[in-house]
Amino acid sequence: MSKKKISLKDISFIIPTNRDKIYTLESIPPECPIYIEREGNDYQARNKGIKKAKTDIVIVCDDDIKFSKGFLEFVLSKMEENTLVGLEDYYPMRWCITRFMCFWKKDWERVGGFDESRKGYGGPDTDFCIRMEKAGVKIIRLPRDSVEHVYPEKKRPAIKELSVLLYLLRRHPRQMIIPAFKLIFRKITGIEL
């Protein structure tokens, strides 16, 4: 049985932003619906945009990335039922980040969307992936440099990393114990396990 080819009309893009210039628009094919959300935190905006989307597949992405049509076609070629394709999370996490993340809307509905309670940066994207994984969704990670990030990344202060880690440990203790150990070990020794 062959897999149905996904066309560009089958996907919607969701972009949370508070910027005037949205670099990502330059990369999105014209046949794809786009939902730009400016209200609430990033995760509230993502959920709001996904609720509006009328397609079966959604791509949530940041407002400051660029990608090729070939990359987008590659992502879509990986989209089987119950699959999430995204950019790899940061060490030592083994999930994906919402800089660019593609998934089925029905799976998002099944796990209850992104957690909107967390204020600040980081955590709910990993939490979302863990809940998707627990629901039987296959996670496919792609290198972060698969897309161009217009604004250079800033190193997060250790206190913010700790805050994200504690948030994830509270929500998913079994899945987070090994990443937490690896992160603490790296902070103490400078060595990645």
* Domain assignments of the chain as residue spans, ordered by start: 8-151
Q: Convert the pLDDT of each residue in 103-131 to its tens digit.
A: 999 999 999 999 998 876 679 999 999 99
- Report the chain's C-alpha Rg in angstroms: 16
Distance CA 54, CA 128 (A): 21
The pLDDT of residue 81 is 93
Distance CA 24, CA 90 (A): 22
pTM over 0.85: yes
**Which CATH topology does 8-151 take?**
Spore Coat Polysaccharide Biosynthesis Protein SpsA; Chain A (3.90.550)
User: Which residues 6+ apart lie within 8 Å of 19 measured at CB?
Assistant: 63, 64
Token pair for 119: 């204020």
The label of the residue with tokens 């800033």 reads 154
Distance CA 104, CA 39 (A): 23
Q: Per-residue pLDDT averaged across 180-184, rounded? A: 86
**Angstrom distances, CA of residue 117 to CA of 18, 44, 84, 98, 121:** 19, 9, 23, 16, 12
Q: Per-residue pLDDT averaged across 44-73, rounded? A: 96
